[in-house]
Amino acid sequence: MYSQALDQRDVQRADSQREAGESPDRLARFQARVEAEEKIEPNDWMPEAYRRTLVRQISQHAHSEIVGMGPEGNWITRAPSLRRKAALLAKVQDECGHGVYLYAAAETLGVSREELVDQLLTGRAKYSSIFNYPTLSWADIGAIGWLVDGAAIMNQIPLCRCSYGPYARAMIRVCKEESFHQRQGYEIMVTLCRGTAAQRAMAQDALDRWWWPVLMMFGPPDAESQHSDQSMRWKIKRFTNDGLRQKFVDATVPQARYLGLAIPDPDLRFDEAAGHWLTGPIDWAEFRRVLAGGGVCNRQRLEARRRAQQDGAWVRDAARAYAAKHAAPAREAA
């Protein structure tokens, strides 16, 4: 999740010098380790394309966690009770922690956090399209927890078994926290749906606006997702985009029914033979437009990150000065 736009052109253009050491024998030994379900660790040999795929995916995931704090942070001061405020604060703080673990996991692949943040701020790196939609009402906070975090769990549980050790281990803790996020969101929805007519209408409106963008979170359809085969062979990915999307729809439709809400899809139907809920067509033109920067909040989200980077400059300077001050006596003693 959160790495839906994985653009692997760089992978195909992989650094030829590094690839020079990639003999068929070495590649075969690497693939055998992956197939034996051994974890690949930072100091192990790995093909350059594998390393780049992971840097791209993990950093995109990290950026999404950090940018994703924006839409929900927007409601912390307006949460309807102290209990809701405390839960939302904790959730937004968790998302920050997820970003930090993931940047650290990406750094084990030989790229610096500064470089990754720079890629985000200059628009060279992507983050999940979902965070370019606005949070217009309190029910959106319920819908995000229920649907966005729900979709994240669906995608991230298989990542706990990803072949790259640091990523897989980071995902174990992340998934535990995501399940709290999903439940707090669903509980908000339950409360609203048991409330007044106006509260139920607010919940329905949130579902109407978030449903289709959430389905897009799983990335383009398998038929268009030409690179997912390689990620599957490397056991970075365990399920295809469409497979995960179907799992999510099958899990979520009964939850919406329990809430008494209508999924905004006139074509939605249960296929008895297949045992699956089938949705109508997804508007992939919207997905591409939002990813390309044309969503309602793309500019606002990036501006917020750039401002945070500027406002935090003094903290980084102070930390560097403190580290230098303490490194000098240690050098002298040595």
Note the residues at the interface with Fe ion (CB under 5 A): 65, 95, 98, 149, 178, 181
Q: DSSP assignment of 251-280, as one string?
A: HHHHHHHHHTPPPS-TT-EEETTTTEEE--
The smaller minimum CB distance to Fe ion, of residues 95 and 107, is found at 95
The smaller minimum CB distance to Fe ion, of residues 95 and 265, is found at 95
Q: How far is the CB of 145 from Fe ion (least distance, A)?
A: 7
Q: How far is the CB of 255 from Fe ion (least distance, A)?
A: 17
Residue 68: both structure tokens together: 């994703």
Q: How far is the CB of 327 from Fe ion (least distance, A)?
A: 34
The smaller minimum CB distance to Fe ion, of residues 47 and 70, is found at 70
Query: What does the CA dihedral 255, 260, 263, 267 come to, rounded to 10 degrees?
Result: 110
Phi, psi of 277 (to 5 degrees): -85, 125
Q: DSSP assignment of 149-175, as one string?
A: HHHHHHHHTGGGG-SBHHHHHHHHHHH
Q: How far is the CB of 181 from Fe ion (least distance, A)?
A: 4
Quick check: helix, strand or coil at residue 246? helix
> Tokens 């950093």, residue?
59
The smaller minimum CB distance to Fe ion, of residues 184 and 279, is found at 184
The smaller minimum CB distance to Fe ion, of residues 52 and 98, is found at 98
Q: How far is the CB of 148 from Fe ion (least distance, A)?
A: 7
The single-letter code of the amino acid at 216 is: M
Give 234's contacts (C-beta < 8 A, 6+ positions apart).
Answer: 34, 50, 53, 163
| Pick from 149, 137, 142: nearest CA to 187 | 142
Q: How far is the CB of 57 from Fe ion (least distance, A)?
A: 15
The smaller minimum CB distance to Fe ion, of residues 14 and 92, is found at 92
